[in-house]
Amino acid sequence: MSVTTWGWLILAFPLAGSILIGLLYRVLPAKAAGAIGTLAIAAAFACSIAALLAMLGDPAEEREYANTLYDYAGAAGIPFELGIFVDQLSIFMALVVTGVSMLIHLYSFAYMGGDAGYRRFFSYLNFFVFSMLLLVLAGNYVLLIVGWAFVGYASYALISFWYRRKTATAAGMKAFVINVIGDIGLVFAAILLIKELGVSDYTSVFEKAPEAFTTNEWTIVAICLLLMVGAFAKSAQVPFHTWLADAMEGPTPVSALIHAATMVTAGVYLIGRSYPLFNLAPTAADIAAFIGLATLLMAATIALVVTDLKRIIAFSTMSQIGYMIVGVSIGAYSAGFFHLMTHAFFKALLFMAAGSIISAMAAIQDIDRMRGFRKAMPFTCAVLICGALALAGFPGTAGFFSKDEILSFAAVRGGMYWIFAVGGYLGAILTAFYSFRIVFRVVYGEPCEEAKELEGGHIHHAAPVNPATGETEDYEVGFPAEEHHIAEREWPMKIAMSILAFGALFGGLIQIPGVTDVLGHFLEPVFESSPIASTVHVSTTDAYIGMTVGGLCSLLGIGAAFYMYMVAPGSTLRLRDRFRGVHDFLFNRWYFDELIDAAIYKPVVACGRFANDTFERVVVNGLVRGTSGGVSGAGQIVKTAQSGFVRFYALLVIGGLAAVGLYFLLVAS
Amino acid sequence: MLTWIVFIPVAVGLIGFLLPSRIVGWWALLGTLVSLGLAISLVAGFDSSGGLQEVVDESWIPQLGVRFQLGVDGLSLFLVLLTSLLWTATVLWSALQYPDRPRNYFFMLGLAQTATLGAFLAQDLLLFVLFFDLMLIPFYFLIGQWGTGDRVRATIKMIIYTLIGSLLMLVAAIATAVLSADSVGGLTFSIEILRQVPLPTGSQYWIFAFFSLAFLVKMPAFLVHGWVADAYKACPLPVLVLLGGVLSKVAAYGFLRIVMPLFPDAAIQFQDLLLIAGVVSILYGSAMAFTQTDVRLIVAYSSIAQMGFITIGIFSLSGSGGDGAVIQMVNHGLVVAPVFLIIAILAERSGTEDVREMGGMARNAPVLAVLFVIVAMALLAIPGSANFVGEFFILKGVFETDVAIALIASIGIALAAFYSLRMYQRTMHNREAAPGVSREIALREAVVVVPLVLCIVGLALYPGLITTRGENAVDRSLAAVNPDPQPAPEAAAAADRGWTGYAPVAEGSAP
């Protein structure tokens, strides 16, 4: 079969799974729904591998395949076709997405057990994977927007999964609306591309763009900035990042899949995919890189102080995506995507471990309450440490190789790009610190009550209360299921986490500088026309210098965390009291939510209120009163006269119509 | 065939008076199904490269030059189908609910359908005006007699507003014919003939203003929307499907059918004004929908915003804007209909239409929730829906005409996401519903709502169904105003041989 046939099949399985589970929700036993969902993704993964193998049969330069199903809505010179485009980049993304999704489905199969919405969950999850695959396989910018928005919807549905919770529905709404703003950016980017070039499919756009635009011409800069709006809304970069922390209201597997491993990396994919456009607009690319750097550092500082386990990991996600954005914006394409892959492994793993711990804590997420799970949950703690090591960039782990590849590229490119290397290493220290903050607080220390209870062989249970509001809830749709599942007792969770832990520890070995270059070599033809990639070469020596620095940063951060949490516990409290202002500033996430609330949400609501209370009543209804007054006097007379008038008019028209109708009949004979 | 399509509904309504009241609803349903069948065959037999088709041209009032001219082209094709579809839905819904005085009720529905289809198909200016005014009467009775709440006030407001518009339009239509009489050689109301010799600019301006005001009131647009809130509140929900879904489209359609071809200079002159009116409608409607607590009013104000989009699409005076407007008219009707029916379902269960007191409906009603979420997503024009295609085309057209307007209009998209989701969440989610309130959609409700939602999904899979058939007609409609005409080759050829294929009415000739 041809590569594109496999491509369509990759899309077909998750969609079919989602629809099948949705239609059969009444008759399917819960576990069957989970099995169908997981198998559908496994089938998509198998198809991705088949497509890869089919692709590898062709010479490296000819690995681009496009196929159109039908003309979706072409008219008025707007090309709009339902077509896919498969090349090394999209197949790489498809492999990462289906592979990680498969494991997360497997994890959810056990983790979500007992939840009242079990079938619904798998239907949504399959739909998400379909949307994400549509996003990466779409053959043109307009279809990309469709996948883009479907992903946004799936994310909304899953964040609001426990829809009885007001905090969850509000978080879903926030995520959705911010994503729609991103969609609008993409829509205008597509409109400008179509207006200037008359085409929307990738191949033609990239062919025509260099002829149509001069470097840094305002049009192409505007297009790239608009693409960035879309990319940053999806990838939770400043200033569109506020939704991601709230998105942690969703079930933990959702956080792992959507808000860490796949969806949020869509922005990286978009910038990487559109690199010929960004090469024509270096200004836009530089802005993107700076925003990536700003997000990287800001999120890392917030992750230092937040106490909610899932939110720490969420801010860490933002920060890590900042690295990827920096990578693909400065020209380190394959490094950026390498980091995307390794991040998917270790971040999904961290969330899975966090989910297991949260289960043991009976849905409490505050790390201040957690302590000493070492003995109670040896497996979970082991994989948590694996994930934290990779995130911290501990020498030899996956995160170590991928992060350093980006940063040494920045250093070698030189000039102002040094800033990204310096900022990146600074971020690496913070990252190492907060990742081991989690480890030292959760794994080590004197066991907390819940951990002791678990050591005694019993999982802690608590009354269902929304941790965010303290509101009493119910198990049905407002609270994780009555039974909790921890990795120690569920083989599907264990398998999924073990595989990811392996990836987090050893996934970097495919890209050891001077030794292996599997991914870089595979992706090279995609980016070969980039002037940056062809001029900047990171020598093996440079790479090892970078890795030494990175390794030291990592050890420094881990060491600092060890000192503060293990050697001198309580020192963080003193620091907090000493720098109260800084702590509050960070803890409140730099007050971004308040800023947006005051600058956008409140004014719109105020406008609506004003329109409703004042304008509608005074002006619009005043107009009616004025009009009716003008028609026939005022007051009570108006009413009677009006209704009489209306009846008369009605009779006149009916009678008149009947008369002309008759006339017509007579004449037309 | 068009004559049949137009007059079957009212004939069915009349025959209904002779039938026992128990079965009159089913008889009316049969009538609408026949109309629907005819409309489908119309679409099936439509030649997307041809011009006006299925032309009916009979002498009617020769002394005044009024002819009974009907015809269908890409502008009206899917509006006819939409009309037939939504009337079928409303009649089926009503037949299952057994309204009071069913004979009168279904006769009024039939009369309304005849008037609406007539307005969409009329190719004679006076005939259009007559059908346009005729629409008002059945709706006056439907709201006044079967409505709820303060229906007297509502109907009076509606009548005052639309009547003023109608009278202005009547004057304008007559003036158009009289003023052109000399140049076209005799009094005629035929749109095709009138468009060939545009009026002098000065006359165009005021006639344009009269027509536009009538259409903007009907749409409704900002500042002349005063009748909407009361009428929507008082209107019975199945009838609201028609009022919100179809009637507003007649106005937007009027711009494309009449204003653009007949008053091109005025359209160019007042383009900015209408663009601003459209964009203000978008912002105002969205901001209002944002803060309403009455579910119906959320939809009512969102309709103002959506019609604003259609207005700016038309007045971008570009091919893609016009194409977008045509598909968006159908989309909006198709989306609003199930929304109102779902509101009817929700209101029936929770006993209120105030979102502050609703919520939690999804608990035992997953099918209803899925239907609602599909509709809500289409309403906010999620990419992948046909509504997105409409908005995309509109935005492209507007973007090329005026970037600022396009950017401001896009705020409406973000707000639409907010108010649609808000409506969905506040009714379906967020809390535990009172015992017994959350019930699954019943069969008698599902038979109406599910097919409509399937239509939305079907159209989302292939919006090209409409865009490919509408393209030619839009180009023709905008031929005189589009500063950058890019007519398709077939359209250019069709223009050479004259687009209707029948000769202009010569002086004193009678068939």
Per-domain residue ranges of chain A: 342-587, 589-632, 642-669
**Residues A550, A394: Cα–Cα separation, whole Å:** 8
Across A17-31, A336-350, B491-505, least confident range: B491-505
B364 strand-pairing partners: none
Could B323 and A75 be called an inter-chain contact, meaning their C-beta atoms sit closer than 8 Å? Answer: yes
pLDDT band at A658 (very low <50, low <70, confident <90, very high): low
What pLDDT is attached to residue A577?
83
What pLDDT is attached to residue A267?
94
pLDDT band at A1 (very low <50, low <70, confident <90, very high): confident
pLDDT digit string, tens, across residues B56-76: 888 888 878 888 889 998 899
**Residues A658, A652: Cα–Cα separation, whole Å:** 10
Q: Letter for the amino acid at A112?
A: M
User: Could you tell me which residue, B164 or B347, shows the higher pLDDT?
Assistant: B347
What pLDDT is attached to residue A434?
93
Q: Kindly identify which residue of chain B lies nearest to residue A176, measuring between CA atoms.
A: B417
- Do residues A128 and A148 lie in contact, with contact meaning Cβ atoms separated by under 8 Å? no
Selection from B110-124, B152-166, B464-478 with the highest mean pLDDT? B110-124
Selection from A236-240, A343-347, B135-139 with the highest mean pLDDT? A343-347
The mean per-residue pLDDT over the stretch B273-282 comes to 92
pLDDT band at A312 (very low <50, low <70, confident <90, very high): very high
The whole domain housing B421 covers: 270-485
Distance of CA B375 to the CA centre of its chain: 18
The mean per-residue pLDDT over the stretch B311-318 comes to 92
User: Could you tell me which residue, A510 or A647, shows the higher pLDDT?
Assistant: A510
Q: Is the pLDDT confidence value at B90 over 70?
A: yes
CA distances in angstroms from B355 to A291, B297, B426, B430, B456, listed in the order given: 40, 11, 6, 11, 25
Q: Nearest CA of chain A to the CA of B426: how many Å?
A: 9
How many domains are there within chain B? 1
What pLDDT is attached to residue A651?
62
Helix, strand or coil, per DSSP, at residue A500: helix
What pLDDT is attached to residue A628?
55
CB contacts of B386 in chain A (<8 Å) are 73
Burial class (CB in 10 A: 0-12, 13-18, 19+), A578: exposed
What pLDDT is attached to residue A663?
62
Residue B352 falls inside a structural domain: yes
What pLDDT is attached to residue B496?
39
Q: Is the pLDDT confidence value at A75 over 70?
A: yes
What pLDDT is attached to residue B161?
82
Beta-carbon contacts of residue B443 (< 8 Å; ≥ 6 apart): none
b/e code A8-45 from CB counts within 10 Å (16+ = b): bbbbbbbbbbbebbbeebeebebeebbebbbebbbbbb
What pLDDT is attached to residue A659?
65
Residue B311 falls inside a structural domain: yes
What pLDDT is attached to residue A622?
66
- Which is nearest to B327 in space by CA: B260, B275, B274, B397? B397
Max Cα distance, chain A (Å):
107
Question: Is the bond preceding residue B220 a cis peptide, omega within 30 degrees?
Answer: yes
What pLDDT is attached to residue A502?
94
Length of chain B: 511
| Other Cβ atoms closer than 10 A to A442 | 26
User: Could you tell me which residue, A208 or B497, shows the higher pLDDT?
Assistant: A208
Average pLDDT score, chain A: 87
Q: Enumerate helices (H) and strands (E) in chain A, giving the number of each.
A: 29, 2
Output the six-digit token pair for A541.
């020596």
- Which of B3, B78, B129, B291 is the best residue to mutate to test the A interface, defined by the most A CB atoms within 10 Å of its own CB? B291
- Which of A21, A78, A144, A621 is the best residue to mutate to test the B interface, defined by the most B CB atoms within 10 Å of its own CB? A78
Residue B188 falls inside a structural domain: no
Output the six-digit token pair for B96.
């299952």
What pLDDT is attached to residue A115?
85
Through-space distance between the first and last CA atoms of chain A, rounded to whole angstroms: 67
Across A195-204, A555-564, A601-610, B84-93, least confident range: A601-610
Q: What are phi and psi of A262, to 5 degrees?
A: -120, -70
Burial class (CB in 10 A: 0-12, 13-18, 19+), B322: buried
User: Could you tell me which residue, B230 or A52, shows the higher pLDDT?
Assistant: A52
Q: Enumerate helices (H) and strands (E) in chain B, giving the number of each.
A: 22, 2
- B432 and A CB contact within 8 Å: yes
**Residues A582, A591: Cα–Cα separation, whole Å:** 12
| Cα–Cα–Cα angle for A399, A404, A405, rounded to 5 degrees | 105
Average pLDDT score, chain B: 86
Residue B75 falls inside a structural domain: no
CB contacts of A132 in chain B (<8 Å) are none
Could A624 and B58 be called an inter-chain contact, meaning their C-beta atoms sit closer than 8 Å? Answer: no
What pLDDT is attached to residue A394?
92
- B137 and A CB contact within 8 Å: yes
Residue B121 falls inside a structural domain: no
- B140 and A CB contact within 8 Å: yes
Could A74 and B467 be called an inter-chain contact, meaning their C-beta atoms sit closer than 8 Å? Answer: yes
Residue B394 falls inside a structural domain: yes
Could B137 and A650 be called an inter-chain contact, meaning their C-beta atoms sit closer than 8 Å? Answer: yes
- Do residues A119 and B370 lie in contact, with contact meaning Cβ atoms separated by under 8 Å? no
| Other Cβ atoms closer than 10 A to A363 | 19
Q: Letter for the amino acid at A136?
A: V
Question: Beta strands B53-61 and B66-72: pairing type?
Answer: antiparallel
CB contacts of A667 in chain B (<8 Å) are 59-60
Distance of CA A281 to the CA centre of its chain: 25
Burial class (CB in 10 A: 0-12, 13-18, 19+), B450: middle
Q: Is the pLDDT confidence value at B499 over 90?
A: no
Q: Is the pLDDT confidence value at A630 over 80?
A: no
Q: Nearest CA of chain A to the CA of B38: how many Å?
A: 23
Output the six-digit token pair for B485.
């005409």
A-B CB pairs within 8 A amount to 209
The mean per-residue pLDDT over the stretch A222-237 comes to 94
Using CB atoms, which residue from A120, A177, A608 is nearest to B291?
A: A608
What pLDDT is attached to residue A647?
58
The residue behind tokens 């929770």 is B350
pLDDT digit string, tens, across residues B178-229: 888 888 778 888 888 888 888 888 888 889 998 999 999 888 888 788 888 8
pLDDT digit string, tens, across residues A400-444: 999 999 999 999 888 889 899 999 999 999 999 999 999 998 998
What pLDDT is attached to residue A220?
93
The mean per-residue pLDDT over the stretch A156-173 comes to 90
Whole-prediction pTM value? 0.90
What pLDDT is attached to residue B511?
36
pLDDT digit string, tens, across residues A92-144: 999 999 999 999 999 999 999 888 888 999 999 999 999 999 999 999 999 99
Q: Is the pLDDT confidence value at B489 over 60?
A: no
Residue B503 falls inside a structural domain: no
Using CB atoms, which residue from B130, B370, B414 is nearest to A181?
A: B414
**Residues B33, B91: Cα–Cα separation, whole Å:** 10
**Residues B280, B305: Cα–Cα separation, whole Å:** 8
**Residues B137, A649: Cα–Cα separation, whole Å:** 9
The mean per-residue pLDDT over the stretch A649-658 comes to 61
- Which is nearest to B252 in space by CA: B230, B273, B278, B280? B278
Q: Is the pLDDT confidence value at A649 over 80?
A: no
Could B413 and A180 be called an inter-chain contact, meaning their C-beta atoms sit closer than 8 Å? Answer: yes
Q: Kindly identify which residue of chain A lies nearest to residue B139, measuring between CA atoms.
A: A650
Q: H/E/C letters for each residue in B30-91?
A: HHHHHHHHHHHHHHHCCCCCCCCEEEEEEEEEHHHCEEEEEEECCCCHHHHHHHHHHHHHHH
Residue B325 falls inside a structural domain: yes
Q: Nearest CA of chain A to the CA of B212: how many Å?
A: 18
pLDDT digit string, tens, across residues B443-484: 889 999 999 999 999 999 999 888 888 888 888 888 888 755
pLDDT digit string, tens, across residues A580-593: 888 888 888 888 88
Here the ipTM equals 0.89
pLDDT band at A152 (very low <50, low <70, confident <90, very high): very high
Percent of the residues in chain B that have a pLDDT greater than 70, as a whole number: 94
Distance of CA A415 to the CA centre of its chain: 32
pLDDT band at B500 (very low <50, low <70, confident <90, very high): very low
**Residues B392, B409: Cα–Cα separation, whole Å:** 12
Q: Kindly identify which residue of chain A lies nearest to residue B428, measuring between CA atoms.
A: A163
Could A169 and B430 be called an inter-chain contact, meaning their C-beta atoms sit closer than 8 Å? Answer: yes
pLDDT band at A467 (very low <50, low <70, confident <90, very high): confident
Q: Kindly identify which residue of chain B lies nearest to residue A160, measuring between CA atoms.
A: B429
